[in-house]
Amino acid sequence: MISTGDLLISTPDSIGDYYFNRSIITLTEVNEEEIVGFIINKPQEYKLSDLKKTITNNNLKVYSGGPVKQDNLYFIHKKPKIIFGGINYIEDLHWGGDLKTGIEMINKNLIDDSCIKFFTGYSGWTYEQLEQEINDGAWILIKNKTEYLFNKNPCDLWGENMKTMGGEFKLWSNAPENPQNN
C-alpha cells in the first residue's frame, strides 16, 4: 500500500527517462485519486537566489521536483513553528507554507539547507498509475527515511540504495548515469 511519506526509488528499468532516471521521490500527498511527490536528489544548475532576487543566501540549491508545473516553486521544510501554513506529511516534515516568512528567515540565517529544500515542479500520478508502475518494476517503494531529504550528498543516494539492495541492483550502483557513456 502506497502511503504519504513513503519513498520511491527508481529502478534501473527507468534508465533513459529524463526525469526519473536514478531518482528518489518523497511522497507528500497520497489519496485514492492522486499522488504528489518531489524528487529529492536532482539539484538544478541554479540557486534559489537566481529565482528570488530578494534572497541574500547564495547557497540554497533548487531541485527538479518533477515534470509537472515546472514554473512553480515548492518547498519542504522542518520549521513549522517559523513557517506557518505548511502541510505536515510525515514526522517533522512539512510541505509548503508561508514562503514570504521562509525567505525572511533564510535572509536572517535562521533557516538553511539543513531544514528546507526547494523544488521546481513536482511528480504526480493517479493512484492506479503509480501502483501499476511499482508492479511493473519501475519503482521500489520503501518507508520514508526522513534523513534522506536533507542529506548533504543527495546525488549519491540512488547508488547507495542500489548497493544495499544487492544482486543485480548492486551492479547498477556504479554504472554511469547514461550507459552509452561507458
Bridge partner residues of 29 (DSSP): 36
Given a contact cutoff of 8 angstroms between Cβ atoms, the answer to whether 61 and 115 are in contact is no
Query: How many alpha carbons lie under 13 Å from residue 57 in its C-beta half-sphere?
Result: 18
Full-model pTM: 0.88
Instruction: Read off the pLDDT of residues 75-107 as tens digits, 9 standing for 90 and up.
Output: 999 999 999 999 999 999 999 999 999 999 999
CA dihedral for 29, 177, 70, 147, sign (positive or negative)? positive
Instruction: Read off the pLDDT of residues 17-76 as tens digits, 9 standing for 90 and up.
Output: 778 988 999 999 999 999 999 999 999 999 999 999 899 887 899 999 999 999 999 999
Contacts of 96 (CB under 8 A, 6+ apart): 74, 75, 85, 86, 87
Q: What's residue 182's pLDDT?
A: 47
Percent of the chain predicted with pLDDT > 70: 86
Q: Where are the beta strands (DSSP E) in 40-143?
A: 43-47, 61-64, 68-77, 87-90, 93-95, 116-126, 139-142
Q: What's residue 174's pLDDT?
A: 58
Note the CATH number of domain 7-153.
Answer: 3.40.1740.10
For residue 172, what pLDDT band results from cuts at 50, 70 and 90? low
